[in-house]
Structure 1
Amino acid sequence: MKIKRFHAKDMRSTIRKVREELGADAVILSNRRAADGVEIIAAIDYDESLLDAQVPAATSASRDDEINIDASGPEIAERTNKTVSLSTSQREADDLPDVYSEAALNRRLSQPRQPAFAAHDFSLPEVDHDIEVQNSQANHAELRETPFIKETLNESPTPQQTETEAQTRAHSWSEEPSILAMQEELKSLRGLLVEQLSGLAWGQETCYHPLRARLLQRLLALGLSPVLAREIAAQCDEDDEIEKNWRCALARIAKRLPVAEQDILEQGGIIALVGATGVGKTTTVAKLAARYTLQHGPQKVLLITTDNNRVAAHEQLRSYARILGVPMRVAGDAQTLKSLIHGFADKGLILIDTAGMSQRDMKLSKQLSMITDGARDGGREVQIYLTLAANSQRGVLEDVAQAFNTIPLAGAILTKLDETTSLGGTLSVTIEQSMPVAWISDGQQVPEDLHRARPHSLVSRSVAIMQKLTSPEGDDPVSLTLGGMLANANG
C-alpha cells in the first residue's frame, strides 16, 4: 500500500496531482488547509485489514516523502510511534478541525472503498441524504425517550392550550373594575366631544351659509335622512329667500321619488306581497282584490296564502274571499303553489299573501325562495311588492328594505299613512333604495282607503304632517342632529 501527501495552491490543483500520480483508483484519506495552500493525503493499493489500525498524520518534515508500508512489522510499529508523536501545538495552529486524529482516521477508513475519481470528474463524493435523515430521526426518537426530555415534553402546553389560556387572561383582564370604569369614562368624554364638535360645526354652517342651514332644519324636521337632506339643501340658491328655496327643495324630493308607472290592477298577473309582521299585507291584498273584482268580476281573481305559521292565520283572508265571492287557497310549499298556478291559469289576477316575518328571521329566505320557485315553475312571472308601514322608524324601514332586497322587487306599497307622525323617513328609504311606490293605504276601509302613488301628493302629505306635529324652525334637537351630521361629513 502506498500513502502520499500532495500540496497545491487550491483544491482543484491538488486533486489533479493525485490523479496524475496515483490514478483514478486513489482514495483520499484526508484533506486540510495548509499555510501554503491545500494538503491532501491519498492512498492506492491498500489492504483494508492493515488500515483498521491507527494511521497517524505525518510530520511536516516528511510531507512530500512517500511512505512505504510494505515493510516488516517492527519497522511499521516504529514509524507509527514516530508519527503519533506529532506535536499538539502544530495541530492547534490550524484553522480547520484536526482530521488526522486516530478517531477521525478510523471513521474514514471504516467506510467502504470507493474510487475517488471518475473519468473527467473532479467533484467530491456526496453524502447519502436518506441515510442521514434516518439517522437523524433515530437520534431524535432516542432523545425523546430519555426521562428528562420526556418529562419536559409532557409538561409543555399544546398550541390550543396556550391560545385558550391567552383568551381567558384577556377576558379576565377586560372585566377588571378599573378597566370598565376607564371605558365608561372614555365613552363619556367621547360623547362630550361629539356634542362640542357638533355645536361648532352647526355654528360654522349657520355663520357662513345661513339660508342653507335653515333649509337643512326644515328638511330634517320633514323626516328625511341627514344624507338626503344635505344633498337637496346643497342645491339651494343662497341669493333667494328661504320660502322659494323650500319650494324648490320639495320639488326636488318629488322628482327623485320613484313611483310605479303601470297600474298592477290593469295589467294583472301574479302579485305577491311580502313584508314584516303587522304591516297590513292581508288587508292590502283584500283591497287590491276588491278593486279588481269591481272592474273584471270575481271569476277572474284567486287569493292564495302561504301563512302556515300562525293558528287560523288564513281565516281573515278567507273571510274577505267569502265577501268578495272569489276562491281562496292555501299553499304550504312550492309544489302546491305551482299546482295552484297551473290549475287556475285562467285567472286574470292571482294575489299571494305571505307570512309576516322579521327581517332577521332565518326562515325568511326559505319563504322567498318558495314564492319565486313556485311561480317560476308555474310558467308565469311573479311580481313581488314589499309592504312598508309608514308608522315605522326610518332605521327599521332601512333594515327591512335591505333584508328583502335579496330578491327582485317590483316595487313597494306604503301602508298606515294615517297612523304615522313623519312620512319623510319612508320617502327617504324609497328614494335611497330606488324602490318605486305603486300604491298607498291610509285606512282600514276596503277598498276605499287604497290609492295610486303620486309623488307630489306624498310630498304634500309629508309637509302637512310636519306642520301639524313639529315646528320647522326648531332649535336644540334639530341643530344638534344637523351639527353632528355636518361634523361627520367634514371629517
Structure 2
Amino acid sequence: MQIQKFHGSNTKEIMQQITEALGPDAIIITSRTLRNNQLEIVAGLLVEETETATQNEGEKISAETSRPQFSSTADLIRERVENLAAVKPSPRTIASFDDQETDTTPGKADTPVNDFPLSKDIKSILEDMSPKRDEPKHDPNSLIDQARIFRELDQMRKVLQTQNDLIVWRDTVHKDPVKGESWELLCRAGFSPLFARKMVEKIPPQFNFEQAQDWIRTVLIKNIPSVEKGRDLVNTGGVFALVGPTGVGKTTTTAKIAARCVMKYGKESVGLVTTDSFRIGAQDQLRIYGKLLGVQVYTAQTLDELRTLRQTLQRKHLVIIDTVGMAQRDERIDKQTTMLKETDASRILLLNAAAQSETLDDVARHYKVGGLVGSIISKLDEAIRLGGVLDVAIRNKLPIHYLATGQQVPEDIYACNSNVLVKRALGSKASSVFDVTDQERGWIGALSHKTTVA
C-alpha cells in the first residue's frame, strides 16, 4: 500500500492534492490539525503485487506454449491406434503371434485384434495425457474467512467515512462560525444534533449570528405543528382518548379539558370515561374531578362495555376517555389501540416535556403506529429544555392541542402558542455540568447525520 502525507489550509485543497498524487481510488487513513492551524491528512492507495502477477503470467504463457506439443503427440498416438484398429489381420499374422505365446489354449487364435489388451493400455495413456480441468473446491473455512474480511472492510469504510465527515464539518464551522454557533444554540436548547444540523445547513450564508437567530426562530415557529385557533378538542368536539406512559398527567389533563368544555358549553356537553383499573385510586381521582364539575364519570374495562358507553354518550359534544398508562414497549398497547378503534375514538398522545429526548422519541414512534390525531405537551413547568419535545412533535408531525403547566384544574392548561414555545426553548439554560467541549462538539456535529430519524 502506497501511503503519503498531505498538508493544506482546508479540506478541499488537500483532497485535490490527494487526487492528483494518488488518483480517485485513494482512501483517507487519518487526519489531524497541526499547531499552525494547518490540516494534515494521511492517504493511501492499494497497489497490486506486480511480481506475483508477472510470475503467474509467465507460468500461464509457458503452460499455453507447451500444450500444442503435448496435444500433437497425443494426436499422433491416437492416429496410429486407429490405423492399427482399421487394418484387418490375416490368419498368418495371428498364427505367427500365437507361435510366440507360451499359453497354447485352444481358441486363443480366434481373439479379435480390436480386443487386444494393448489397445486398452494405449487408450488409458491417452486419457492420462489429455489435459484435465481442475474443478473448484469449496472450502467452508475459506467462505467464513471471506465473510470476516468483508465485515472488516465495511467497518474500515465506516471509520474512514466518519473521519472524513468530521473533517468536512470542522472545515465548515471554521469557514462559517455563524453556523457553528447556531448549531450549538439549538443543541443547548435540547434539539437533536441531526435536527440542528439540518436547520443550520439552510441558514443563508450572508447572515450574522443575530440574523441567524431571528431566522431560526421564524423557521421553528412555522414548523411547530400547533393546532389552529378554534380547532382544539373543546371547540371541535368528538370522542378522544388520552394515551401515553404512566405519570404523564392523563387524568389531570382530562379534568382540565372537561372543565374548559363545561365553562363553554355546560356540564351536559361532556362525558367522562375511565379505563384505568390498574392504578390504585385512578378512578376515584377522576370521579372527584367529575363531582366538582357536575359531570358523571363512567367506567369501562372491556370492549363491550366501551361500546355500550359509546352509544349512551353519543349525544355529548365531547367525550374524553382516560386510559391506563402503558410504557411505550408494553405489549398491551396493541390491544388498547384495537379497543379504541372499535369505538371510533381518536387517540391523543401526552408528551412529558421533562422527559429525556430519546425517551420521547421512542414513545412517539411506538404510539403513533396505531394512529394519532394530535398531542398535548404536559409538565412544561418541570422541563429545563423544551427542544427535545418540540423536536419530536415536529419530526413526527403531531399537532399540539394544549400545553399543560401544572396541577391546578382548570387553570394550568393553555392552547398551543408557537411563539411562546420557541422563546422558552431558545432561552433555556441547563447546568454547566452538561456542557460539552469544543472537541466533543466537533465529534457530535460530524456524527449527527448518522442519527436515525423515525
TM-score range, shorter chain: 0.5 to 0.7
Shift of 1:341: 0.6
Q: For structure 1, which runs of at least 5 residues remain unmatched after alignment?
A: 1-32, 40-58, 63-79, 99-165, 171-186, 377-381
Is 1:354 aligned with 2:284?
A: no
C-alpha offsets along residues 151-178 of structure 1, whole Å, 9 cap, x if unaligned? xxxxxxxxxxxxxxx9xxx9xxxxxxxx
TM-score when normalising by structure 1: 0.59
- 8 A contact 2:352–2:378 mirrored in 1: yes
The corresponding residue for 1:463 is: 426
Shift of 1:485: 2.4
The corresponding residue for 2:182 is: 215
- 8 A contact 1:304–1:350 mirrored in 2: yes
C-alpha offsets along residues 101-140 of structure 1, whole Å, 9 cap, x if unaligned? xxxxxxxxxxxxxxxxxxxxxxxxxxxxxxxxxxxxxxxx
- 8 A contact 2:273–2:320 mirrored in 1: yes
C-alpha offsets along residues 9-51 of structure 1, whole Å, 9 cap, x if unaligned? xxxxxxxxxxxxxxxxxxxxxxxx9757789xxxxxxxxxxxx
**Cα distance change of structure 1 residues 426 and 292 upon mapping to structure 2, 3 Å threshold:** same
- 8 A contact 1:388–1:397 mirrored in 2: yes
Q: Select which of 92, 113, 117 maps to 2:117.
A: 92
Shift of 1:438: 0.9
The corresponding residue for 2:136 is: none
C-alpha offsets along residues 292-324 of structure 1, whole Å, 9 cap, x if unaligned? 111112122111111122344322111111211
Q: Distance in 1 between the 2:318 and 2:292 partners?
A: 17
TM-score when normalising by structure 2: 0.64
Give the total of aligned pairs.
Answer: 325
Shift of 1:420: 0.4
Q: Distance in 2 between the 1:477 and 1:194 partners?
A: 23
Q: Select which of 79, 82, 86 maps to 2:107.
A: 82
Which amino acid is the alignment partner of residue 405 of structure 1?
K
Shift of 1:229: 1.0
Shift of 1:371: 1.0
The corresponding residue for 2:440 is: 480
The within-5 A match list for 1:7-406 is: 35=83, 60-61=89-90, 81-83=106-108, 86=111, 91-95=116-120, 203-261=170-228, 262-373=231-342, 375-376=343-344, 382-406=345-369
Partner of 1:204, secondary structure, is helix
Which amino acid is the alignment partner of residue 207 of structure 2?
D
Partner of 1:438, secondary structure, is strand
Q: Sequence identity of aligned pairs in percent?
A: 31
Shift of 1:84: 6.9
**Cα distance change of structure 1 residues 201 and 477 upon mapping to structure 2, 3 Å threshold:** farther
Partner of 2:182, secondary structure, is helix
Q: Distance in 2 between the 1:398 and 1:344 partners?
A: 34
**Cα distance change of structure 1 residues 391 and 92 upon mapping to structure 2, 3 Å threshold:** same
Q: Distance in 2 between the 1:363 and 1:300 partners?
A: 31
Shift of 1:435: 1.1
Q: Distance in 1 between the 2:438 and 2:117 partners?
A: 91
Q: For structure 2, which runs of at least 5 residues remain unmatched after alignment?
A: 1-80, 92-104, 124-140, 145-154
Which amino acid is the alignment partner of residue 333 of structure 1?
T
Which amino acid is the alignment partner of residue 459 of structure 1?
V
Which amino acid is the alignment partner of residue 348 of structure 2?
Y
Shift of 1:490: 9.4
Once the two structures are overlaid, the 10-residue window that deviates more, 227-236 or 336-345, is 227-236
**Cα distance change of structure 1 residues 37 and 308 upon mapping to structure 2, 3 Å threshold:** farther
CA RMSD of the aligned region, Å? Answer: 3.6
Partner of 2:408, secondary structure, is coil
**Cα distance change of structure 1 residues 96 and 293 upon mapping to structure 2, 3 Å threshold:** farther
**Cα distance change of structure 1 residues 86 and 386 upon mapping to structure 2, 3 Å threshold:** same
- 8 A contact 2:189–2:427 mirrored in 1: no
Which amino acid is the alignment partner of residue 324 of structure 1?
L
- 8 A contact 1:303–1:328 mirrored in 2: yes
